Amino acid sequence: MNARYYTLRQADLPALFDRARGDYDVIAKRRDANGNLCYGPATSFADVDFTAEQPRLSAKACAFPQIEELTRYRREGRTFTDATPAAPARPALLFGVNMCDAAAFEILDKVFSWDYKDDPYLERRARTTLFALACDALQIDCFCDRLDFPTAAVDLIAYRRGDDYLVEVRTEKGAALAEKYAACFGPAPAAEATGPGATSPPAAKKPPLLEEARPQLSRSFDHEDWALLAGTCVGCGTCTYLCPTCHCFDIQDEGGPAEGRRLRVWDHCTGRTFTQMPAHQPRDRQFQRYRQRLLHKFWYYPERFGPILCTGCGRCITFCPVKINIRELVEYFGGLKATPPGGARRK
Amino acid sequence: MTPLNAELQAAVRRLFDDGRIQYFLGYVEDYGHTFPAILTPASDLARLTFDRRSYHNLARFLDEVRGAKVGLVCKACEVATLNVLAAENQLARENVVVVGVPCPAMVDPGRLNADSSVPAGDDPALWQEKCRRCPERNTPDADVFVGERVSTPPPAPGWPLLEEHERRSPAERRAWLAAQLALCIRCYACRLVCPLCYCRQCFVEDNKPQWLDKSADGENNLHYHVIRALHLAGRCIECQECSRACPVGIPVDLFNQVLSRDFAQRFGFAAGRAPDQKAALVDYQRDDKEDFIL
Amino acid sequence: MNENLYRPRLVRITDVVDETPTIKTFRLAFDDGDRPDFKCGQFGEFGVYGAGEAPFCLAAAPAHPGLEIAVKRVGKVTRAIHNLNPGDVLTFRGPFGNWFPYEDFKGRKLLFIAGGIGLAPLRGLLWTCLEHRADFEAVDLIYAAREECELVYMREVEEFEKRADMKVTLALDPVCGPDLIPGWRGRTSFVPPILEEERPSPANRVVITCGPPIMIKLVAKSLLNALGYEPRQIWTTLEMRMKCGLGKCGRCNIGATYVCKDGPCFSYDQVLAFPQEF
């Protein structure tokens, strides 16, 4: 379908929000109890922070919540009755989501829909409309300019134009929203009626794409510098849980033998027990677990499904307790850079 | 490169060349950040630094180089940690070369500039909270000291964050706590940066019995933080790495401060003063107060 | 939500057999409909509501009714399963994974090499081959364990030993030295020395092996290096920690492979191509 462009004035944002709230569960950027930016349900525009600033957690919980009930069981004599929870009734609108977070859904769709259809994820995904707000510039840690992440499934994108926005409609879902709330949108300026004058983020000179690291990366598994460069990884779940594309999960029963729930919960492959078996642990050193995460994102996933499992949001660098830098490590082990980050080297 | 860093790099190079150490745990600066690194004789030391973003507790990484001769640059925080580890038979102090430095007080990560650089000026309001209470800027018991010793400003008394919290009513405290615990995503960054959480299998990983559900809900989160604090009772040296590491900004170390204050006020005890100091919970004095026991 | 793929069916335990002090066989039947069709090598996610799920290979031949699993009591879920009796139910999702290329095995000499509970993943295939014995030039078994108490299905193995058309070799680890273990009538040896002594010829042969990872590696090494086998003549079934069983949760990845989807049955040339971390 043809992309269509509109103007959205800053002054019309509250009206757009209020109308949308009548039809959608709106999830927008807002401040949490500590004043940090997060995605959360918003029922009043006064709570919304319509900014390109990056919330600490990504938006993946909209389709892949941290705790998801798969079934609820109850013992009946020697057997059980169980039931799956009802799907949320209303559609959801991600209002002002970062591009790096919005693009992640198309990447995640691959693993959740190949072969077996993951109904819990796909149903939430189908009911969610993505209305992105594009950034104006890269921050210190983000590196979306080093990746070609997919944006075809981002339903609408707002680009800043002074105080107002140029809105690009990219999908039928986006077109439906723009049509429903047509009163909030105006025609795009003639110069941009067929395309935004500037892309987001501003693409100045482009250093090599991280995709180019893959051939060398796929030969780097036994490189002797992994133990030092990934040796400070503490094995927490920060990078994984904040990441828009990480999707490893666990299935846990919680409750008791008489009644309870079987849940899907987030898990992290960097954790010590992730592959722990009673008699065998294939990744018993921390650097092996970190290596798994990096190679999964930049080699195994694209080999299997096409896109790199990363949108360059940089959260894993910003919030890593020890500032391990996945971009630098991909460059080093992928042969795009000769010197290791920080200078640590074994040889 | 600062004079301190030049001296530090030279000292570490000497330690390697003399064969006194096989690994060095230090901070390096790269891609706009300062972060811990494990360095070997083959490493390039040009990025080795000690600056106002050297937050980490490098004693945490001793386990990665277990069995080898290791050196590490220490603040007073790390030395206190080494003392507790030695008292708990987790390390042989003679295998560790402590490189001491004059600590300039760390800048609160939340107060760094957007590009991660350190803001100008030395207002204590910019510092990490623990640094305002620090009694010793110059690393005690260092094997090698680099740089010029500095004077230590008088430490702020008491536990100001705790006292501020306790000025709230019980209902306000409950609400605040519930709001903080609702943010917790059980990433375990707090536990995993702590050098004293060194159990091979932590209680959170047990499943026979399973003490905690894996769900990151308020009740399980509360139990996790409280139990972890209790496991650190009388051991925590208040490096505040747990709070610094929390990706959602929970001041996790407040749980630990409650207990540290109890030990200080009731028993005159602080962890990490000496490598042969018995842990508070495995020792007693004849004149210990018992007025809280029925 | 629609019926979702994480909602299990319930299967009823019809029979429990104590194989060893720590291993039980559970025979299972479906009360809510037909047993799903499956092929040798596949597995299912079985569980107890309240304790959780774990992957278990389907240990009986597809031609037999119901399902069978061998459960070693090692953890929370297996302990909960061990506490159940005939009449109790388990949750079941499956069948998952790939299967042994049975059609390609026809006409060949098959050598099964199993270690301890590793006989269970091979048992369905072994029974199917024996029940169509004429389709194969040979069906032989080397069955080894660290200690006698780790051998499973011994009543069946004793029946196999009586067959004229099957060679069965039993072995226990020589942990007590080379002396015979009192009362033990089999070999006292690791498997590779047995192979290098008996020298089964690679001509028209397929080896199917399952057991602890170290056993699989050393058996393969012996076959490849000392006995002239090609990697594609060796088949194995790999165990990795699994949760979803269907290629989503990422736990069982080795490289770009999902053991739960692309495996658990692999030929050894596939195994050699993995990043070496299993």
Q: Are residues A187 and A214 in the same domain?
A: no
Same domain, A336 and A220: yes
Q: How far apart are CA B259 and CA B263, in angstroms?
A: 6
Say yes or no: B181 and B252 in one domain: yes
3-class secondary structure for B126-155?
HECHHHHCCCCCECCCCCEECCCCCCCCCC
Quick check: B34 contacting A, CB < 8 Å? yes
Minimum CA–CA partner of B208 in chain C = C76
A124 in any annotated domain = yes
| Residues B186 and B79 both lie in one domain | no
Would you give the DSSP letter of residue B107? Answer: B
| Packed helices A326-333 and A286-295: angle between N→C axes, nearest 10 degrees | 80
Report the residue of chain B nearest A139, measured CA to CA: B115
Residue A162 amino acid letter: G
Residues from chain B that touch C76, judged by Cβ atoms under 8 A, are 207-208, 210
Domain boundary among A157, A192, A227: A192
Are B123 and B217 in the same domain? no
CB contact under 8 A, A345 and B44: yes
pLDDT digits (tens, 9 = 90+) for A258-276: 999 999 999 999 999 999 9
Q: Are residues A231 and A279 in the same domain?
A: yes
Task: List the domains of chain C with CATH numbers.
Answer: 9-96 (2.40.30.10), 102-237 (3.40.50.80)
Judgement on whether residues B221 and B171 belong to the same structural domain of the protein: yes
Same domain, yes or no: B133 and B20: yes
Contact A272 B248 (CB under 8 A): no
Residue numbers of the domain that contains B271: 160-282
In chain B, how long is the greatest CA-to-CA distance? Answer: 61
Helical packing angle, A172-180 and A13-23, nearest 10°: 110
The CA distance from A283 to the nearest CA of chain B, in Å, is 15
Across the range A8-18, mean pLDDT stands at 96
Q: What is the pLDDT of residue C2?
A: 45
Same domain, A188 and A216: no
| Residue A33 CB partners (closer than 8 Å, separation 6+) | B176, B179, B180, B182, B183
The predicted pLDDT at position A136 comes to 87
- A161 and A221 in a single domain? The answer is no
Does C1 score more than 50 pLDDT? Answer: no
- Cα B1 to chain centroid, rounded: 26
- Among the listed residues B180, B271, B195, the one whose alpha carbon sits nearest the alpha carbon of residue B226: B180
Q: Which residues pair with B27 in a beta bridge?
A: B36, B49
A49, A171: one domain: yes
Please check whether residues A40 and A172 belong to one and the same domain.
Answer: yes
Residues B91 and B193 occupy one common structural domain: no
The greatest distance separating any two alpha carbons of chain C, rounded to the nearest whole angstrom, comes to 63
Are residues A182 and A315 both part of a single domain? Answer: no
Predicted pLDDT at A2: 52
Residues B274 and B196 reside in one and the same domain: yes
Q: What radius of gyration, in Å, describes the C-alpha atoms of chain C?
A: 19
SS percent in chain B: helix, strand, coil, step 5: 40, 10, 50
Backbone angles phi, psi at C226, to 5 degrees: -95, -25
Chain-centroid distance, C-alpha C109: 19
**Distant-in-sequence, close-in-space partners of A90: CB < 8 Å, separation ≥ 6:** A23, A24, A25, A127
Clarify whether residues B178 and B266 are in a common domain: yes
Confidence of residue A87 (pLDDT cuts 50, 70, 90): confident
B54 and B176 share one domain: no
- When divided into structural domains, chain A yields a total of 2
Q: Is the pLDDT of residue A192 over 80?
A: no
The span from the CA of A103 to the CA of A170, in Å, is 12
Of C239, C219, C235, C195, whose CA–CA distance to C105 is shortest? C235
Look up residue C52 and give its DSSP letter. E
Tell me if B151 is assigned to some domain.
no
Contact between chains at B205 and A273 (C-beta distance less than 8 A): yes
- The reply to whether A174 and A219 lie within a common domain is no
- Give the confidence band of C177 by pLDDT, cuts at 50, 70, 90: low
Q: Report the gap between the CA of C49 and the closest CA in chain B (Å).
A: 15
Q: Output the tens digit of pLDDT for each of chain B's 294 residues.
A: 899 999 999 999 999 999 999 999 999 999 999 999 999 999 999 999 999 999 999 999 999 999 999 999 999 999 999 999 999 999 988 899 999 999 999 999 999 998 999 999 889 999 999 999 999 999 999 999 999 999 999 999 999 999 999 999 999 999 999 999 999 999 999 999 999 999 999 999 999 899 999 999 999 999 999 999 999 999 999 999 999 999 999 999 999 999 999 999 988 899 999 988 988 888 888 888 788 777
Query: Which amino acid, C196?
Result: E
A285 located within any domain:
yes
| Residue B293 resides in a domain | no
Interface of B with C (CB under 8 A): 207-208, 210
Quote the minimal CA–CA distance from B285 to chain A in Å: 37
Q: Is the pLDDT of residue A347 over 70?
A: no
Among left, alpha and beta (phi > 0; psi -120 to 50; other), residue A4 is beta
More confident site: A47 or B285: A47
Does A67 fall in a domain? no
Q: Which residues of B touch C75 (CB under 8 A)?
A: 207-208
Number of domains in chain B: 2
Residues of B in contact with A231 (CB under 8 A): 38, 61, 64
In which domain, by residue range, is A269 found?
Answer: 210-343
- Nearest CB among A253, A280, A282 relative to C49 is that of A253
In degrees, to the nearest 5, what angle opens at C-alpha B5 toward C-alphas A229 and B111?
Answer: 75
C137-156: per-residue pLDDT in tens? Answer: 999 999 999 988 899 999 99
Contacts of A311 (CB under 8 A, 6+ apart): A99, A100, A101, A103, A104, A107, A144, A147, A149, A244, A245
Tell me which residues of chain B, numbers 43 to 72, contact chain A at a CB-CB cutoff of 8 Å: 43-48, 56, 60-61, 64
Q: Does B251 lie in the same domain as B210? A: yes
* Res A173: pLDDT: 95
Q: How confident is the model at residue C277 (pLDDT cuts 50, 70, 90)?
A: confident
Each residue's pLDDT tens digit, C56-106: 999 999 999 999 999 999 999 999 999 999 999 999 999 999 999 999 999
In order of A37, A97, B68, B178, B251, the CA distances from A33 in angstroms are 10, 20, 45, 10, 12
Q: What pLDDT sits at residue C262?
A: 96
Q: How many CA atoms lie within 13 A of C22 on its CB side?
A: 12
Shared domain for B179 and B115, answered yes or no, is no
Q: Where are the alpha helices (DSSP H) in B135-252?
A: 160-166, 170-183, 189-193, 218-231, 241-245
Query: Each residue of A92-107: b (16+ CB within 10 Å) or e?
Result: bbbbbbbbbbbbbbbb
Residue A83 lies in a domain: yes
Chain C residues whose CB is inside 8 A of the A274 CB are: 241, 251
What CA–CA distance (Å, rounded) separates C275 from C278? 8
Residues of A in contact with B67 (CB under 8 A): none
Domain end call among B92, B116, B145: B145
The string of pLDDT tens digits covering residues B149-174 is 999 999 999 999 999 999 999 999 99
Establish if A244 belongs to a structural domain.
Answer: yes
Contact A119 C4 (CB under 8 A): yes
- DSSP H or E stretch at residue B8: helix B3-17
Contact B179 A140 (CB under 8 A): no
Contact: A339, B44; criterion CB under 8 Å = yes
Are A254 and B213 an interchain contact pair (Cβ–Cβ within 8 Å)? yes
pLDDT in tens, A101-128: 999 999 999 999 998 999 999 999 999 9
Residue A64 is assigned to a structural domain of this protein: no
Q: What angle do CA A284, A287, A291 make, to 5 degrees?
A: 105
Chain A residues near residue B244 by CB distance under 8 angstroms: 321
pLDDT at A199 over 70: no
Residue with token string 């060949």: C108
Residue A312 CA to residue A243 CA, distance in Å, equals: 10
Mean pLDDT of chain C: 94
Q: Are C92 and C46 in contact (CB under 8 A)?
A: yes
Nearest to B116 among A66, A140, A342 (CB): A140
**Helices within C163-212 (DSSP H only):** 191-198
Q: How close C77 comes to chain B (CA, Å)?
A: 10
Q: Do B207 and C79 touch (CB under 8 A)?
A: no
How large is the ipTM? 0.95
Is C76 part of the contact surface with chain B (CB cutoff 8 Å)? yes
Over chain A, what is the mean pLDDT?
A: 93
Q: How far apart are CA A112 and CA A118, in angstroms?
A: 5
Closest chain C residue to the Cα of A298, Cα to Cα: C256
Query: Encoding tokens for residue A67?
Result: 């705790």
Residue in chain C lying closest to B209 (CA): C76
Distances from the Cα of A266 to the Cαs of A30, A302, C249, in angstroms? 23, 22, 9
Q: CA-to-CA distance for A117 and B283, rounded, in angstroms? A: 59
Q: pLDDT band at C183, cuts 50/70/90?
A: confident
C199-236 tens-digit pLDDT: 999 999 999 999 999 999 999 999 999 999 999 999 99
pLDDT at A208: 83
Run of H or E including A82: strand A79-83
Supply the pLDDT for residue A3. 61
